[in-house]
Amino acid sequence: MQVFTQQRLADTPDEIWLVQHPPVFTLGRNGKMEHVLAPGDIPVIPIDRGGQVTYHGPGQLVVYMLLDIRRKALGVRELVTAIEQSVIDLLAHYGITALGDRDAPGVYVAGRKIAALGLRISKGCTYHGLSLNVAMDLEPFQRINPCGYAGLQVTQCADLGIEQTPEALAHELCESLAQRLHYPTLVWSLDQT
């Protein structure tokens, strides 16, 4: 992501990368180790996104957004709101009411976090992005203060009755992101690297 962003030109197309990670805790640039309570055998990796600590693992959809927000004439708050609203729209399609939180970016269902955001902006371009809990082991979230909030509970799509795989929801979420961010078309490619 860093290399892609550093090497971008004014006409480089924006990209969205969809991945699942092996179990890992990531600690944002201003993250505090005091929020990592008991990592056990799960590695803690400092990274250059915003935010505190979060967990990534199998069954979670991670969406890396490599966007030129200057070209799109998007402010950071507008971008965060559009990303949150894309997840809210996706969940609404399944009859789930969700909300964003201006003071604690992410998407929440009945006070439980289902999607976390952590972005980095360099030269008007974003990288890192969004994680959506789909059908995963949520236990590792108990080993941290998710996003720096002690006692914050998390949830996932499977626990809300959404019986889709991360891959299936990826397509729906990307369509929602494209609509909210005003991209007229999506071009899909598969890269297994």
Q: Which of 125, 147, 157, 174 is catalytic?
A: 147
157 is catalytic: no
E strand or H helix at 113, and its extent? Answer: strand 112-122
Annotated ligand binding at 107? The verdict is: no
Annotated ligand binding at 10? The verdict is: no
Left (φ > 0), alpha (ψ -120 to 50) or beta: where does 59 sit?
A: left
- Say if CB 130 and CB 65 are below 8 A apart: yes
Annotated ligand binding at 132? The verdict is: no
Annotated ligand binding at 130? The verdict is: yes
Annotated ligand binding at 116? The verdict is: yes
- Say if CB 69 and CB 79 are below 8 A apart: yes
Annotated ligand binding at 59? The verdict is: no
Q: Name, in order, each residue with C-beta under 8 angstroms of 182's C-beta and a sequence gap of 6 or more.
A: 72
Nearest to 108 by CA among 155, 150, 177: 155
Annotated ligand binding at 55? The verdict is: yes
Annotated ligand binding at 6? The verdict is: no
E strand or H helix at 2, and its extent? Answer: helix 2-7
User: Could you tell me which residues are annotated as the binding site?
Assistant: 49-56, 116-118, 129-131
User: Could you tell me which residues are annotated as the binding site for substrate?
Assistant: 49-56, 116-118, 129-131
Instruction: Show which residues are catalytic.
Output: 147
